[in-house]
Chain A
Amino acid sequence: MRTMLNALSFCAAIIAAGTASAAELSLAANTTGKNVNFIREQLDIFEKQTGHKVSLVTMPPSSSEQFSQYRLWLAAGNKDVDVYQTDVVWAPQLADQFVDLTEATKDVVGQHFPSIIASQTVNGRLVALPAFTDAPALYYRKDLLEKYGKTPPKTWDELAATAKEIQEKERAAGQGDLWGYVFQGNAYEGLTCNALEWIKSSGGGQIVEPDGTISINNEKAAAAIDRVKEWIGAISPQGVLAYQEEESRGVWQTGNAVFMRNWPYAYALGNGDDSAVKGKFAVAPLPTATDGDQPSSTLGGWNLAVSKYSDDQEAAIALVKFLASPEVQKQRAIQLSNLPTVAALYDDAEVAKAQPFMPAWKPIFQSAVPRPSAVTKVKYNEVSAKFWNAVHNTLSGNGTAAENLELLEVELTNMKGDSW
């Protein structure tokens, strides 16, 4: 606590030196889990330290919806929002509308993982400072796996078999609502993340390779999606095709799923007092197609960017630096189980005590698969939408994976033209 206060007063000193008078800022952030409650608490501290006033603009939990709202505001040169919380894949698409933070953050940028800083650097401009990173995990019910003498699955087939067995036996024992596996199958950005994991962990590439080649139409990718098709209605409810993160967490946290794929934020919430699975679950890396393969988690994470239309950029930058600081990230890790982007926090004893899984997560997100946002630039959203549509069509029985991926390849090739 002492170190935290020290650090806060240090931050305050920097800020006080930089700004002459109190500013009124506003920050747009999404409402997934307890994100906004946490940010509000931190903003109160920031306000006390600096005298600035910060209001919070809450955004929908769906990142696709959030993005289009941002795009609209920024295109209109909106001065009302100063700081935007941005997804890791948005940097290339919105870069022109954000302030270059390179100069202002050169004192703190070294604390963060270089790969994450690189993902937010577009044409040599640092457009956003990372607030936390994300790499999804396989959540499993310890109690149920122990009951049936199972170990956390290493491969997707093992996951399906275990899920099926436990689901059948538990249902026979009266747990009629229990499902084997829930994930995010709605047609939106989250399905792109899920499907990229299935495909990459099966050796099917990553949709568009870093050199710009469209690699999606291959047998391994088709097999990976066909495998998931088998799960729908068997170990996963059909409704999973309309689930986003919060819907799958709803099924999981009420104790109605054996396995769940979700981001680390669900860890702290699952251990909350109102959770039916409190203390009954653990997390493991996502499975692979064959035992011994490298597990593939999609790289997620949220960053903070300053709008170039902001009237008070200096104060806004101070706010970004405050929210991305090691102190706030540490609180974030402890309270919300969000993965820090500050390397040193993975060796922090307090973080390890609050979130035992976290130290083990460092290698996982360091080897995480990025979505092809850097290479497809402004066309990324469309690429992603075409991809999730192809997958969603396959999962809901509109054509086979092979057919849909072949069509997708044609569409992507058309979209690419001469170059991305």
Chain B
Amino acid sequence: MTDLSLADPPSALGQQAGIRSDLNASRVRSAWIFLAPTLLVLALVAGWPLLRTIYFSFTNASLTNLEGAEFVGFKNYLSWITLKSGRTVYNGLLADPAWWNAVWNTLKFSAISVTIETVLGLVVALVLNANFPGRGLVRAAILIPWAIPTIVSAKMWAWMLNDQFGILNDLLLGLGLISQKIAWTANPETAMVAVLIVDVWKTTPFMALLILAGLQMVPSDIYEAAKIDGVHPLKVFWRLTLPLIRPALMVAVIFRMLDALRIFDLIYVLTPNNAQTKTMSVLARENLFDFDKFAYGATASTMLFLIIAAITVAYMWFGRVNLEGGER
């Protein structure tokens, strides 16, 4: 992680000589010029759609009539009317139980999947970091699940998880672990488990790769020193390895977390419309395109964006992650 901050003041060096300051200013200028195309493209492909979505969430737009959208304020988020009987009825996304169910599903999915993937990824990375013959081949092979497009692997798993023809039930039956075939994606108790199994299978290699990169930055002489001192391997792991790869680990977890919070494709293929696994993204898409509620879907997307942003900021704060390198 090198320091790329543009706003860094020239600091002490700059004050010593005015020439250096001029030079620095021109360097900053050319940096901006080089960055401009990237920033422009980002604004076009990320900024503009985001602002449009936020705008639509305050209107009554429908997919067939986007131009005719009228401003309705916060009605899509929350509105209430007081009935003659004195009872207040709440409407809008924030009063929608389906939305909160989706939020809960997403958080549950993210917490469990990221935890399992981090632990497994760490184990795999430690194994791959060791010296053994054929290491290159194994490193390449372990990336295969990550290389398969999610739609394809989800469909593949859907067949493997099929209750009647699925290989998973066949294996478990053959081993005597279950007494009758389980309907993995249909049963409300196992639907989330099925999604988690596939996600862990798919994404552990990604975590392993990022953590492996961190492991390789750890200088080997530290381990040699520990070995000479006769430190127990477990202690080496907890006291040396883990603290040293912590920055890489935290960044890997953030990436995974951002991904997990907006999970869509896997669930859409594996268990579409199932209330037990419906996530925020699936709910947003349903309202945007299936139902005639484009503005409501835009509201859900905006909330999804805010929730992810809030969680990321909180994580970076509490985890003391500094993306510019080093401790905060």
Contacts and interface: CB of A to CB of B under 8 A. Distances in A.
Do chains A and B interact in one complex?
Answer: yes
Interface of A: 62, 64-65, 67-68, 71-72, 74-75, 93, 96-97, 177, 185-188, 237-243, 247, 250-251, 256, 378-379, 381-382, 385, 388-389, 392-393, 396-398, 414
Contact of A381 (B91, B162, B290): B290
B156 interface: no
B286 A237 contact: no
A282 B64 CA distance: 45
A237 B164 contact: yes
A93 B63 CA distance: 11
A100 to B, nearest CB: 17
Given A397-B188, A398-B188, A64 B290 contact: yes
Given A238-B187, A389-B275, A75 B163 contact: no
A396 B181 contact: no
Contacts of A186: 186, 273
B186 A68 contact: no
A250 B291 contact: no
Interface string B153-174: 0000000001111000000000
Interface string B42-72: 0000000000000000000011101000000
B198 to A, nearest CB: 14
B289 interface: yes
Chief secondary structure at chain A's binding surface: helix
A381 B187 contact: no
Interface in B227-272: 271-272
Contacts of A392: 273-275
Contact of A385 (B64, B181, B188, B286): B286
B181 A237 contact: yes
Contacts of A64: 272-273, 290
A381 B291 contact: yes
A239 B163 contact: yes
B64 A379 contact: no
Contacts of B118: none
B292 A238 contact: no
Interface string B269-294: 00111110000000001100111110
Interface string B302-326: 0000000000000000000000000
B183 interface: yes
Given A65-B272, A243-B186, A381-B290, 16 more contacts: A67-B290, A68-B290, A71-B289, A74-B64, A75-B64, A96-B64, A186-B186, A187-B272, A237-B183, A239-B164, A239-B183, A242-B271, A250-B165, A378-B292, A381-B292, A393-B275
A93 B292 contact: yes
A65 B247 CA distance: 42
B155 to A, nearest CB: 11
B185 interface: yes
19 contacts: A64-B290, A65-B272, A67-B290, A68-B289, A71-B63, A71-B289, A97-B64, A185-B186, A186-B186, A237-B164, A239-B162, A239-B164, A239-B186, A242-B271, A378-B292, A381-B290, A385-B286, A389-B275, A414-B91
B165 A238 contact: no
B293 A382 contact: yes
Given A241-B186, A242-B185, A385 B164 contact: no
Interface of B: 62-64, 66, 91, 162-165, 181-183, 185-188, 271-275, 285-286, 289-293
Contacts of B64: 74-75, 96-97
Contact of B274 (A62, A187, A251, A414): A187
Contact of A242 (B63, B91, B186): B186
Contacts of B271: 242
Given A381-B291, A385-B291, A397-B188, A188 B164 contact: no
Given A71-B63, A241-B183, A188 B273 contact: yes
Contacts of A185: 186
A381 B287 CA distance: 10
A62 B271 CA distance: 13
A250 B164 contact: yes
A256 B273 CA distance: 27
Looking at B91, B185, B291, which has the most chain A CB atoms within 10 Å of its CB? B291
B273 A389 contact: yes
Nearest to B89: A414
Contacts of A381: 290-292
Given A75-B64, A177-B164, A187-B274, A382 B183 contact: no
A251 B290 contact: no
A77 to B, nearest CB: 10
Given A186-B273, A250-B165, A385-B273, A241 B187 contact: yes
Nearest to B194: A242
Contacts of B186: 185-186, 238-243, 396
A385 B187 contact: no
B292 A237 contact: no
- Most A C-beta atoms less than 10 A away, residue of B182, B186, B188, B292: B186
B290 A396 contact: no
Contact of B292 (A72, A242, A382, A414): A382
Contacts of A71: 63, 289-290
Contacts of B182: 238
Contacts of B291: 379, 381-382, 385
Nearest to A75: B63
Contacts of B162: 239, 247
Nearest to B98: A389
A239 B164 CA distance: 8
A97 B62 CA distance: 14
Nearest to A243: B186
A251 B64 CA distance: 40
Contacts of B275: 187, 389, 392-393, 398
B185 A385 contact: no
A96 B289 CA distance: 16
A326 to B, nearest CB: 34
A173 to B, nearest CB: 18
